[in-house]
Structures are given as C-alpha cells and as structure tokens.
Amino acid sequence: MATSQHDLSFLWPLLKGLVVIYVVLVGSVYLLQRKLQYFPNPDPVPLPRGEAFRGLQEVALPTEDGHRLQGWHWPGEKPLTLVYFPGNGGNRADRLEWARDFHRLGYGLLLLDYRGYGGNSGTPTETGLYRDARAAVNWLARDPGRKLAYLGESLGSGVAVEMATRAAPAGLIIQSGFSSAADVGQHRYPLLPVGLLMKDPFDSLPKIRGLSCPLLAIHGDRDRTVPLSLGRALFEAAPEPKEWLPVPGAAHNDVFAVGGQSYWKKIDDFLNEVSGSGPDGEDSPQTHKQ
C-alpha cells in the first residue's frame, strides 16, 4: 500500500497544476473576450467612385451617447430601404460587392458601420451596437413614407432581432444567425463555461418569440462558424409568417456567392411581399411558408 501511495503521489501536484492552468485560461478569456468576439477594421473607408456606385452617399449618424457613425446610404427606386447590420469583422468596404448586387434589385440600402469600425470612434459592445442600430433606424425615420426592412448577418442578426422587437420593420432577414452568441462561443470553446463568462451574449432566442413581422432566415449548410443548428433553433422560435432558406454548399462568409441567383430571387420575392408589391408592382399578400 505504501508503495502504491508513493507511486501515485505525483498526481496531486499534476492535478493542481492543471486546475491552475484552467483557472488562468478562464480568467484570460473573461478579460479578453471582446477581442475574441469583435474583429473591427478601424480604418476610415473612402466613398467608392465610378458609374457602378452612382448615387451612393456617405452619411453621419449621431448616436444617443455622443458618437457619429459613418455609413453609406444608397437610395433606390422601390419604396423600401433595407438596413444592413453587418457581422463582427472588417468594415463596410468588405460588403461593397454585396451592396452593389443588392442595389440592382431596386431597393434602397443603409450600410452601417458600428462604433470602432470603419473610422468610427468608440469600441464595440452589445449595448453600444444597439445604440448604433437605433441611430441608423432613427436617421431613416425622417422619411415616414418609406418602409424599412432589416437584414442582420452573423453577429448582426442579434442586432437586427433586438431592433425588430423595438421598432418593427416591414420584414426581417437573418443570414447566418444564431440563438445566442453564448451558444456560438460554447460551440467553439466546449470546455469553458461560456454562458457564465459572456458579457455580450446577444440572446436572440427569447426575443424573437415576440417578432411581429415576416421573417426570412438564410443559412449555409456547411457553416462551421455558426452551426446550422443554431440558426435553425432561432428560426423555430420565431412566430409565423416565416421562411427558411438553407444554402447548399455555403459556409459562413460565402452565402450570397454560393447561393447565386436563387439567393437573390428569394430576397427579392420576400422584400416585394413585405413592401406590399408583387413582381409587377401590384399588392400581394404577405404569406410565407416554412
């Protein structure tokens, strides 16, 4: 017995060492979590020139806590403007190709950069992003005759859901969305108590149950950043009317490229319906099927 205890005596220091390493890891993740959650490109973004971007305007959006956010407004021919809430990386220049293809459908577009992104002051937080979103919606509300729709991509899905429950749009599009950022973090770091650590959980699942507008949810079926199951869970929690569009072969950042014409047709059909106009400009009922 003595020999056995002696042989196992090294396990206690090893166990204590592992516990210390784990505690340090958890503490580091807690302190640095916003650097793991947000990846802003803070560089100012020049307004693109050329015939392809004719009509694109630079706008400054004042927030309630004193920031002035730079963004792009692109008026369209149709009586609906889409407010685009981007994901957690880069800045609006990275969405320029998507914006150009969207604008070809005839809708207006407001492309927002959050605080800390695209030359804007401040640092991103969940509360801050909600304030930035309100600034964008309030700026567009100066034209009461124009309908609004929201599109939230990835992290922006949490912002879009929050805004849709505060100021209901004509329609909501969620692309690569999730039930909560905490669920995404738990998927990425399965050995850490992410739910207990997270400062900015973007908990969309309970919020979307109160949605009062049509929903279109789009998700790549090969998304490893935000698993399809988390997007589907958010969709399932939403009330009708709603529609689910999986994009075969798409990962997290290439949904519109992989989706191609079917992706754009679905968005166009959805926005035509929620704006009250069918393909020929006549009123069409807002009916969506799962």
- The whole-number average pLDDT for the span 47-54 is 94
State which residues form the domain around 216: 38-274
What pLDDT is attached to residue 9? Answer: 72
The pLDDT tens digits of the residues spanning 112-121 come to 999 999 999 9
What pLDDT is attached to residue 290? Answer: 38
Q: Is residue 4 part of a domain?
A: no
Q: Is residue 54 part of a domain?
A: yes
C-alpha–C-alpha distance, residues 209 and 217, integer Å: 14
The pLDDT tens digits of the residues spanning 192-203 come to 999 999 999 999
- The whole-number average pLDDT for the span 57-77 is 97
The pLDDT tens digits of the residues spanning 120-161 come to 999 999 999 999 999 999 999 988 888 999 999 999 999 999
Of the two residues 100 and 287, the one the predictor is more confident about is 100
What pLDDT is attached to residue 280? Answer: 41
Q: Is residue 186 part of a domain?
A: yes
Segment among 22-26, 207-211, 230-234 with least mean pLDDT: 22-26
> Model-level pTM greater than 0.85?
yes
Total domain count, the chain = 1
Q: Which two tokens stand for residue 200?
A: 């900015």
Please report, for the domain that includes residue 161, its CATH number: 3.40.50.1820
**Largest CA-CA distance found in the chain, in angstroms, rounded:** 89
